[in-house]
Each structure stands twice: as structure tokens, then as C-alpha cells.
Amino acid sequence: MTDFLPVTREEMEQRGWTQPDFIYISGDAYIDHPSFGPAIITRMLEAYGYKVCMIPQPDWTRDEPFMEFGEPRLGFLVSSGNIDSMVNHYSVSKRRRDKDNYTDNGEMGKRPDRATIVYSQKIKQLYPKTPVILGGIEASLRRLAHYDYWDDKVRRSILLDSGADLVLYGMGENSIIELAEALDGGLPIQDIIWIKGSVYKCKTIDHLFEHKLLPAFEEVSQDKRKYAESFRIQHLNIDALNAAVLVEPYQGWYVVANTPALPLTQQQMDFTYSLPYKRTFHPMYHHIPAIDEVRFSIISNRGCFGSCAFCALTNHQGRVISSRSKQSILEEAKKIIQDPDFKGYIHDVGGPTANFYHPSCQDQLKRGTCPGKECLHPKPCKNLEVSHRDYLSILRDLRVLPGVKKVFVRSGVRYDYLMYDQDDTFFRELVQYHISGQLKVAPEHVSDKVLDTMGKCNHALYEKFREKYLALNKEYGMNQFLVPYLMSSHPGCDLNDAIELACYLKSINHIPQQVQDFYPTPATISTTMYWTGLDPMTMKPVYVARDPHEKQLQRALMQFNAPRNYKLVHEALTRAGRTDLIGYGRDCLIPPVPWGKPAAGAGRKTDRHVKEEGKRKGSGSGNTKSESRPQKSGKGREESAAGKKHAAQDKRFDQRRKSSQGSSSPANKRKG
């Protein structure tokens, strides 16, 4: 089958169906691309012979949209979509966002807050006896009691709040097929309690032989230390090979989380990405902005052993890397090349971390990841296997395919893992061939104290990486930027740390165009720190900037030279006792008075003031241009901002490639 799945009763009947096996309800518009979870799950079910219909973004205020196909034979599958609905709707300051990239024309308001709960409750009202199975990132990360940033309290497992029958957490391909076969065999949903990667509720746990009992919900919702203890147990049991079954008591119920599903083998990964995706959004829409970032991109791997404390990926995909074969990736590239809108540029080849193509060590495949130990933090494990050989081989084969002009790596490179590689061939070819004008990396901060809390490597390693990156660009005659992602107000970061970061930004002459404040999303170590004030892995106290005004001060320091931030930066420096950074000196962040305003009683500027102001502009006080600032994009062909950016970058590379063909300069040849 090569068409979109039915979205109306008429389309279902055109296939000769009278009743679907499953109805998938999604908070996203319908995009049939392997970068989107709903597409993978529905195509997987289709491949195993099940009849699946889609209800994307139903109007939850009415019954009729949920009754479009009638009652499914086996069950309803419910997801908020590719992103948590609350993160999708609200910024870290809890301001309602203006745009939903997963909706037609980016329109907001097409899904409810807490979409998974709302959809599930509506279905249970209409079809109380039909199984309802939750999946996707929203359900996965809320499978047990969790701190909710928007309510500022601990909420129950989403299984209880939604009234659903089962949660499938993680990526779900194998779990959904096992569940479908059990339902198809006539088993009641309440008896399906063995599937790896599932969460169910029950009145008694007498049937369990081995499990770990978590603190009861009534405890973790009232006692922050108990919450931290519970999270620690959960975090130590996220590996498919060595995790235990977890049981969370509630009044009248137990919520049981089975062990995670096994990571996909390479053969299974290849099968998943070989399914007949349409690779675009349904024709009933005008344009879905989210497709622009991934339409000409290829997923090569899953999982991440980086284990950043603020990232929920470990809790969703796990730490063990699953990767596709080279042949599978090349076959997808050939499909992309046939797209009439393809202009020769593969925008990305990667995953959560582009250059994690192998498990960090072979022991993981036999015994699982080490509980309580990380592969890269605080220092790389002695068993860490560092190699870019196979990933580089894939990039080399992709860039010589007929019709391909350039293959970019945009999904994020772990620079620490890159620097641990004794063979710098990948680093060199990355700079020569695979950067689209700028390389984005995530040092996150410069204070080693804060970096340790984040689970990141020390700042000195980033500086070594940065120096080598600039040196390689110079060696190859390239003019490519380095864009560091930085974060304010992460647990462990106080005003002094924020000031240290601001001073560093001035020293490298870089002012971020956007500032990312720490966002406490469910099921991360950092969110647990934010809520409890404790590091759940050590139970030691952690400083947390919870006051909105202090968070505002930390954000302002990252853009210290913006006139709108002058008062905030002045206040931050004064509160921290760092008034030495207020003045006209070379190291000062701001002058004694706002830019453009003379001091009280002062006349026109003296020659000295003019000279000092010139120094400030040259050293970053008023100048945001730098070696690491991205160039502005020109006019592009795509309808969204992401599409315009990619189109402009593609156009620049076209121009550079053509100019290099007319020159015999070695530097020009390397650029092309």
C-alpha cells in the first residue's frame, strides 16, 4: 500500500473496509514521514496486515470527530503527537506560543492542553469498553508520578488521569505489534500485562514475583526528598537488559511499569525505515512547517549515551545506540533524490546525536548499560569505544551519489566524543564537506560547577575543540561559523556563574541571538533538581534559581550589550558584588550609564570616552558580529522559516560550487 492511511469514512470504504482494526488519534496534523512517531507506528501496523485509520487533531469539544470511523475492532491509539502538548503550547516563561509547527500553516489552537488525557477521556465517554492505548513522548515521560512545571506540583501517572487501559512507552515498534497480536488473539486488554515497554494498572500485585516498589504517590507528592528517591530508582532502571519492574502504589491502585523494550537490531531498524512512507504531509493541508527540517534528512541512529541531565531522551529511547545499515541509508537517499523538489542537498544524516553510530562499548549489548555510571561524564569510561569510521563511510558514499551536491550534518555533534577520537579524519572531513555554513554544538555553559550538574564535560575541552575547529577552517580556507548553544538558570547556576558566562561571551566576541532558559520538562534529572533542590543521584543539595526575576537576570546577562537589558545586567552585577564589571574598562560588561546617555552633569564626550567606546565596540560591548555568529539567510523557496533558511544555505553553496569549478585554486577546490 503506497497511499496515505484513511482520514475519512469515505476513504476507508474505498479500501473495502467496513471497520478499522485500530484508530490512531494524534495531536499533530497527519505527516507520513519516518521522523514522526505516528507515521512509524501506523505504517508498522499496516505492514503486519492491520487496518489503521487516522484522526489527526480532532475537535475535542465535539463527539463527532471521534466517531468518524465508528468503533475499531481492536482499539484506539492515542498520542499528543511528536512533542509534549504543554511544551508545544507554552514557553519556559509560561507564555502561550504564537505558532504550532505541527499544524497546518503553523496555526495554534488545534489541540488541547494535555492532549493525551483529553483525547483519552473523550474516547472513554463514547466507547467505554474499547481498549485505549497511549503512546508518544507525552505519555512516555509521564508514565509514572512526575513533577509538572505548568501546575507546579506532582501529578499522577498519565494512565490514571486519562482513564486509558495501557501505556506503551519508548519507541514502540515491537511493543505495538506484540500488543496487536494479543488483542487480535482475543485476549482482554486487562490481561495483557507482560509486554516490555508497557505500563498497566491493577488492584493487586500478587502476580508479580520480582519488582521494585517505589514510594507511594501520596508520599512523593508531599515529600520532595521522597520524590528524589523515587526518581533515582526509576533512572537506575531504564536499561532493557538490567532494569527491574517498577511498581508505584496509589490509593486503590498500583501502576506497574514493565522493563523497557529491547533496542531495535539493525535489521529491525532497516525494516522500520523501509516502509512506504509518503514522506510529506497529507494533501488536505496547505503546509506543515515541521516537515521543512526533516523532509530531506535521514535518521541514521537512535538512543544516546551522552546522558545530559536536562534531556529526557534517556528515559524515552535509552542509552544503547541502534543504527541502520549503510545500504538502508543509501536506499532512503535515493528516494529523496527522486523528489521533484530536491535540489541536491541532504540536510542532515544523524539522530539524537549525529556522531553516535555505535554503542559506547560492546558490554552494553550483553549486560546493558552500567547503572549509576555514565559513559562520558565526569570523565570518559575506560571502556568507551570511540570511532567515526563507519559513520564517515556512510557520509562519503552519500556525497558521491548522482544528484547529490552536499550532505550536511545538522542534528548535533558531540564535540567531546569527537575530541576523544585519536583519528581526526572525521573532524577534518566534517569541516571540509558537511557543514552548511555553521556548526551547532552544545557546550551549554562555561562554569565547570554548572557543567558538572548538567552532566557535561569541562569547559577546557570545549575550548580545545573550538581552537581546532577554527584552525581547520583556516587550514582549508573555509569561513564557517561555530554556534554554541548555551543555557541560563540550570540548577546549580547562580548569578556568579551567569556572570562568568557573560564574561566569556565578551571574550570570544559572541552574543547569542536567542537565549535558552532551562525548561523543566517531565522525567529528567535536572527537573528533579529544580523541584526538590536535590541531586537525585547523590541526594546532595543543589542551588536552584526558581525566582522568575533571578531567571530574568541570568537571561539578560547572556545578552549583556542589549540596551533593553541594561538595568537588569546592572542589577545582577550589583547584587553579585561585581561592580568591577561596570565601567569603561576592557573587561567591563556595561558602562556606568546606559548606552547613549551621558552621566549626570557631563557635557559632550571627551576624547578618552570616544576612544574607550571604540574599544568596547571592538571587543564585543556593542558589536554582535563574530566568528561564531551565523550569517543571515536570504530569500528561499520554502514556505516556512526553516525552509527559507535551508533554501538560502543551499543557494549559497550552489554559488560557491559554481565559482570553485571555474578556479584551479586548491582552497576553492576544497570549498566545493
What is the secondary structure of 25-60 as a DSSP string? Answer: EESS--EESTTSHHHHHHHHHHHTT--EEEEES--T
Burial class (CB in 10 A: 0-12, 13-18, 19+), 74: buried
Rg (CA), the chain: 26
Coil vs helix vs strand at 296: coil
Kindly give the interhelix angle for 389-399 and 425-433, rounded to the nearest 10 degrees.
30
Q: Which residue has the cell 492542553?
A: 113
Give all strands (DSSP E) within 276-385, no chain letters. 280-281, 297-299, 301-302, 322-323, 345-346, 348-350
The answer to whether the annotation marks 311 as part of a ligand binding site is yes
Q: Quote the cell numbers at residue 625.
A: 558580529
What is the fold of 9-200? Rossmann fold (3.40.50)
Which helix (H) or strand (E) is 485 found in, with range?
strand 481-488
pLDDT number for residue 314: 86
Which stretches within 236-347 are classed as H helix?
266-274, 313-316, 326-337
Dihedrals φ, ψ of 79, to 5°?
-145, 145
CB atoms under 10 Å from CB of 268, counted, come to 14
308 is in an annotated binding site: yes
Q: What angle is formed at CA 399 by the lines to CA 395 and CA 402, rounded to 5 degrees?
A: 140
3-state secondary structure of 51: coil
Give the CATH architecture of domain 438-629: 2-Layer Sandwich (3.30)
Q: Which residues touch 222 (CB under 8 Å, ≥6 apart)?
A: none
pLDDT score for 606? 41
pTM of structure: 0.89
φ, ψ for residue 501, nearest 5 deg: -65, -40
Tell me, what's the pLDDT at 595? 74
Question: What is d(CA 47, CA 51) in angstroms, rounded to the nearest whole number?
Answer: 10
- How high is the mean pLDDT in each 10-residue block of the chain (672 residues)? 87 97 98 96 98 98 98 98 96 95 97 98 98 97 98 98 97 96 98 98 95 98 98 96 97 96 96 97 97 95 93 91 97 96 96 94 89 93 96 98 96 94 97 94 96 97 97 95 94 98 95 91 97 97 96 96 96 97 95 75 43 43 37 38 62 56 37 30
Phi and psi at 517, nearest 5°, equal -85, 145
* Phi and psi torsions of 466, nearest 5°: -60, -45
Q: Of 6, 124, 20, which is closest to residue 54 (Cα–Cα)? A: 6
C-alpha cell at 255: 501502576
Of 568, 41, 2, nearest in space to 280 by CA: 2
Question: What pLDDT shows up at residue 622?
Answer: 38
**3-state SS class at 440:** strand
Quick one: how far is CA 636 from the chain centroid? Answer: 26
Pull the grid cell for residue 311.
Answer: 534531556
What dihedral do alpha carbons 130, 51, 112, 532 form, nearest 10°? 80
Per-residue model confidence (pLDDT) at position 411 = 82
pLDDT computed for residue 619 by the predictor: 40
Give the amino acid at 357.
Y
Element (H, E) at 56: strand 52-56
Euclidean distance between CA atoms 610 and 532, whole angstroms: 50
Burial of 162 (0-12, 13-18, 19+ CB in 10 A): buried
Q: At what angle do helices 37-47 and 266-274 cross, to 10 degrees?
A: 90
Surface-to-core class of residue 75, CB atoms within 10 Å of its CB (0-12 exposed, 13-18 middle, 19+ buried): buried
Is the domain 296-436 a CATH 3.30.750.210 member?
A: yes
**What pLDDT is attached to residue 649?**
63
Q: 10 Å Cβ neighbour count for 117?
A: 24
Distance of alpha carbon 374 from alpha carbon 376, whole angstroms: 6
Q: Which residues of 286-313 are buried (b: 16+ CB within 10 A; e: fewer)?
A: ebbbbbbbbbbbbbbbbbbbbbbbbbbb
* Contact in structure between 303 and 356 (CB atoms under 8 Å): yes
CA–CA distances in Å: residue 667 to residues 628, 646, 650, 663: 21, 24, 20, 9
pLDDT at 603: 41
Residue with the three cell numbers 580545545 = 464
List Cβ neighbours of 265 (8 Å cut-off, separation of 6 or more): 322
State how far the Cα of 351 lies from the Cα of 316, in Å rounded to an integer. 14
| Residue 601, all three cell numbers | 552633569
Reading the block at residue 218, the C-alpha cell is: 501520596
Among 504, 418, 435, smallest CA distance to 473 is for: 435
Q: Which three cell numbers stand for residue 353?
A: 546525536
Return d(Cα 338, Cα 349) in angstroms, integer.
18
